[in-house]
Structure 1
Amino acid sequence: MNHKKYSNKPLYIILLLTVFITSGFYNEKPKILIIGDSISIGYTPFVKKNLAATAIVEHNPGNAQHTGTGLKQIEAWIGDTNWDIIQFNWGLWDLCYRHPDSKEYGNRDKINGKVTYTVEEYAANLDTLVRKIKEKSNAKLVFVTTSYVPKEEAGRFEADAKRYNKAAIAVMKKHNVSVNHIYKASKTIHKKYGKGSHDVHYTKDGYKKLGKIVSGFLFEQLKMLKKQ
């Protein structure tokens, strides 16, 4: 009877060690949080796939929309997780003009509408957001610039993407936040893989290409963290 009792002990130890080792490897992977709008939602699955062997990648629940939403939700999105990198982006919603009578999706109307946040308000909100993130987390911060806005987009002016990016970059420089400048690449990608001259979004192939750029930048940031 004792022989039967102890015969299973080696198997139990092996199983215990397997769980411990597996959990250890899982926990050793750095954690990356991506916060952003529908563009980031589109490329995040590709980033997860590209970095699967290197890091655990998550996206904030839903669409991060504009900086106003960020100011309300940022603490909840970060939560209690010990993130190694937090990548964030706001812009397309901030620079969007809307009018309640517009029939366009999201009430977009750059002729009669009102902008969500002026470039000055956007910069001020970003400044506050960076401070809030740093108070909540010790993660390495990465800002991704706003992607391309096609000329015929109903609620957005093409030139505003550059203006808002310039303001955002100044804020990031002030706070020593790394910047992934994807605007130029996103414009090239949109020309071939965008959903049209009236839409800021991309096809699956377009998001795949954006995801490759984002993954590459994050991979370099991870390498830098390992050296520290």
Structure 2
Amino acid sequence: MNNKFYLITALCIFLCLGYKPKEPKILIIGDSISIGYFSKVKEEMANKAIVMHNPGNAQHTGTGLEKIKDWIGKEDWDIIQFNWGLWDLCYRHPDADAYGNRDKIKGTITYDPQTYRQNLEELVSILKASTSAKLIFVTTTYVPVNEAGRFTEDVPKYNAIAKAVMKKNGVIINDIYKKSIAIHHKNGVGDNDVHYNKEGYKELGELIVPVLNKTLKKL
């Protein structure tokens, strides 16, 4: 009887103090594409989790290796979703006129496929050692044919490498590449730009949310 009384009393105190269960925390790490759909994802997940994005643009895997521990910080993340690829497969030349010195004719690739694989392996290893969060990798989105610094056909190659690394390490894969092609044709900025308009980012966000929800349910 006394135990029941104390339990009820404790519950009343918690309720009176405004006690709330711990909200799950999700960290999204990625480039400008993820920044574009972030607001849609945050809005859709508002009543289910706290969703944050790494400061700024995660760029390529080299930047990831430099900053990943700072991005994780001391937070107790439940899910970390990450992506690298568009910057890794980009060719740049210091004299190129295109924004970001992109030049797939005279430029040098940021990271060749072998280095991309090695960097991803190291990044996954750091993530696993630094956090107990569930890990989700999102594949690289479509590159239109007239993009100044990237080849359309490189995306499936880099995605295949990434998926092999993730499968090997037990990381959840959200493969949005094929659907991103149709989204880009309809709501991309143009045939020379990897980015999307507002509606396009909304559609990409709708590919992200279901996998986050599914993963949350399994926590």
- The answer to whether TM tops 0.5 is yes
Show the counterpart of 1:151: 145
Rounded Cα–Cα distance in structure 1 between residues aligned with 2:153 and 2:119: 20
Q: Determine whether 1:124 maps to 2:109.
A: no
**Which residue number in structure 2 is paired with residue 105 of structure 1?**
99
Greater radius of gyration (CA): 1
Q: Deviations for 1:108-150, whole angstroms, at most 9, x for unmatched residues?
A: 0000000000011001000000000111100000000000000
Aligned to 2:40: 46
Cα distance per residue 1:16-69 (max 9 Å; x no partner)? 955542xx24xx211100000000000010000001111110000000000000
1:203 is matched with 197
Between the aligned partners of 2:57 and 2:137, the Cα distance in structure 1 is: 16
Higher helix share: 1
Amino acid of the residue matched to residue 188 of structure 2? G
Correspondence for 2:4: none
Report SS of the residue matched to 1:110: coil
Shift of 1:217: 1.1
State the SS of the aligned residue for 2:186. Answer: helix
Which deviations, in whole Å up to 9, do the C-alpha atoms of 1:84-105 show, x marking residues without a partner?
A: 0000000000000000000000
User: 176, 181, 196: which is aligned to 2:175?
Assistant: 181
Three-state SS of the structure 2 residue aligned to 1:155 is coil
Task: Report the Cα distance in structure 2 between the residues aligned to 1:142 and 1:154, rounded to whole angstroms.
Answer: 30
State the one-letter code of the partner of 2:101: N
1:210 partner SS? helix
1:51-130 matches, cutoff 5 A: 51-130=45-124
SS at the partner of 1:151? Answer: coil
Write out aligned runs for 1:128-147 (5 A). 128-147=122-141
From 214, 224, 228, the counterpart of 2:208: 214
Unaligned runs of 5+ in 1: 1-13
Q: Which amino acid aligns with 1:91?
A: G
CA RMSD of aligned residues (A): 1.4
* Superposed CA offset, 1:162-205 (max 9, x none): 00000000100110100000001111100000000000000010
- Long gaps (5+) in structure 2: 1-11
Q: Percent identity, please.
A: 59
Measured in 1, the distance between the counterparts of 2:49 and 2:215 equals 12
Q: Which runs of 4+ in 1 moved over 4 A?
A: 14-19
User: Matched residues in 1 for 2:13 and 2:54: separation?
Assistant: 35
Cα distance between partner residues in 2 of 1:57 and 1:187: 26
